[in-house]
Amino acid sequence: MKTTYREAVREAIREAMDRDDRVFLMDEDVGHYGGCYAVSKGLLEEFGPERIRDTPLSESGFVGAGIGAALGGMRPIVEVMTVNFSLLALDQIVNNAATLLHMSGGAFNVPVVIRMATGGGRQVAAQHSRSLDGWYAHIPGLRILTPATLEDARGMLWTALEDPDPVILFEHVLLYNMEGELADDAGPVPIDRAAVRREGSDVSLITFGIGVVKALQAAEGLAEEGISAEVLDLRTLRPLDDDAIVETVRRTHRAVVVDEGWRSGGISAEISARITEGAFYELDAPVARVCGVEVPTPYPEHLERAALPQVEDILEAARALISGKDGTL
C-alpha cells in the first residue's frame, strides 16, 4: 500500500494501543491538535482522552509521569515535540529512566518508550533543529533507535514497547512526508541489527536517519561515475552493531560516516574508532566523516543547507577516498 512515514508511525501507535490496554500516548498537543507533526491525528477520537493524553507544557513533568507509569506497570509512549525540548527532561531521562534498573539492583525495570522529532532542514532555527541522537547514545541504560524507512517507522515501536528498559525513538522531521510502498502485513521488526540498504564494493556509506536517504541518493550518483557504494543503515545507535560495521568495511575497504550532528565528540567519532579497532588492516584509506558544521543551526535557508550534510558533501567525500585524498568534511 502507498503510505507516508507519518502514517506508518501513526499506524504503529494505533496497533500498539489495540494490542495492549496498558499502552497510552502523552505529550503536548497530541490530542485535540493531532500532534505537532500530525502523527496522532484522529487517535483521540478513536481511543479517548485517557489514552491520548494532552499534557502541560512541562517536559520534566510529563516525562517523569511517563517513567512513573512505566514503573507502575503501564506501557507509556511519551512524545517529546522536538529533541531540543528534551533537554528540559534530561534529569528524568538520564538520571532516572536510564539508571533505575542498576540502582535498584535489578528490581525495577522502566519500560517507557520516548519518541522525539530530531534534526534540521525546516528553517526553524537553532532552538528547534538539533540532532542530539549521539548525545543520548552515550548513556548506558538507554536503547537508541533511528528509523529511516517506512518499515522501521511502522515496526520499531512495538518491538520497543516489548523491551523492559527505556527506549528512545528518534524520528527525523524531514522523513515525516516521505512516501513509499509498505506491505499490508507490515508489523514488528527486530531492533538489534543494522541493515545494508544498498550493496556495493568500493566504499561504505555508514549512517542513520535522514542520512540514509541522502546516502542512497549519493550512491546513485556515484554509480553513474562507476563507483559502487554500499549503504549501511545503523538503525540502532545504542547498542551499535559492531559486526555489521566491520563487515561492510571488509567488503569495501573504505568508509564514509555521515552524521547530521556535530563532528567533535559525536557518534561519527565513535563509529570511526570502532572501525579502527575492528578493521584497521582492512582499510585502504582513512575513515572519512561528513557531519554538521559546528555552529548553531542557522535560520536562513542557504545557511542552514550549508550547515547540514548534503548529498553533494557525501559525493565529494566518497570521491576523495577513491582518489586517495582526505575525505573528511
Amino acid identity, position 234? L
Single residue among 123, 156, 181 that ends a domain in this structure:
181
Single residue among 124, 158, 181 that ends a domain in this structure:
181
How many Å apart are CA 280 and CA 24, to the nearest integer? 46
The verdict on 177 and 214 lying in the same domain is no
The verdict on 169 and 228 lying in the same domain is no
Residue 190 within any structural domain of the chain? no
Single residue among 121, 148, 181 that ends a domain in this structure:
181
What region, left, alpha or beta, does residue 228 occupy, with left being phi > 0 and alpha being psi -120 to 50 degrees?
beta
Question: Which of 121, 143, 176, 159 lies closest to 3, judged by CA?
Answer: 176
The verdict on 228 and 169 lying in the same domain is no
Q: Which of 15, 28, 79, 128 is catalytic?
A: 128
Q: pLDDT at position 71, please?
A: 97
pLDDT per residue rounded down to tens, the chain (329 residues): 899 999 999 999 999 999 999 999 999 999 999 999 999 999 999 999 999 999 999 999 999 999 999 999 999 999 999 999 999 999 999 999 999 999 999 999 999 999 999 999 888 888 898 999 999 999 999 999 999 999 999 999 999 999 999 999 999 999 999 999 999 889 899 999 999 999 999 999 999 999 999 999 999 999 999 999 999 999 999 999 999 999 999 999 999 999 999 999 999 999 999 999 999 999 999 999 999 999 999 999 999 999 999 999 999 999 999 988 654 54
The verdict on 285 and 167 lying in the same domain is no
* 312: DSSP letter: H
Question: Which of 218, 233, 217, 39 lies closest to 152, judged by CA?
Answer: 233
Task: Give the CATH number, domain containing residue 12.
Answer: 3.40.50.970
Residue 329 within any structural domain of the chain? no
The verdict on 175 and 223 lying in the same domain is no
Question: Which of 234, 238, 187, 231 lies closest to 209, judged by CA?
Answer: 234
Q: Which of 59, 171, 230, 247 is catalytic?
A: 59
Question: Which of 216, 100, 99, 237 lies closest to 156, judged by CA?
Answer: 237
Q: pLDDT at position 325, please?
A: 64
The verdict on 260 and 318 lying in the same domain is yes
Residue keyed to cell 582513512: 286
Evaluate whether 217 touches 245 at the Cβ level (below 8 Å).
no
The verdict on 48 and 70 lying in the same domain is yes
Amino acid identity, position 2? K
Please state the domain count of the chain: 2
- For helices 242-252 and 267-279, angle between their N-to-C axes, nearest 10 degrees: 70
The verdict on 265 and 319 lying in the same domain is yes
Evaluate whether 37 touches 118 at the Cβ level (below 8 Å).
no
How many Å apart are CA 33 and CA 150, to the nearest integer? 24
Residue 187 within any structural domain of the chain? no
Range of the domain at 103: 2-181
Evaluate whether 66 touches 28 at the Cβ level (below 8 Å).
no
Question: Which of 145, 164, 22, 157 lies closest to 104, judged by CA?
Answer: 164
Residue 246 within any structural domain of the chain? yes
β-partners of residue 290 are 258
Contacts (Cβ under 8 Å, ≥6 apart) of 95: none
Active site residue 102: no
β-partners of residue 116 are 80, 170
Residue 188 within any structural domain of the chain? no
β-partners of residue 198 are 231
Task: Give the CATH number, domain containing residue 283.
Answer: 3.40.50.920
Contacts (Cβ under 8 Å, ≥6 apart) of 320: 288, 326, 327
The verdict on 153 and 235 lying in the same domain is no
Active site residue 59: yes
Reported pTM:
0.95
The verdict on 16 and 156 lying in the same domain is yes
Q: pLDDT at position 324, please?
A: 81
DSSP H or E segment with residue 207: strand 203-207
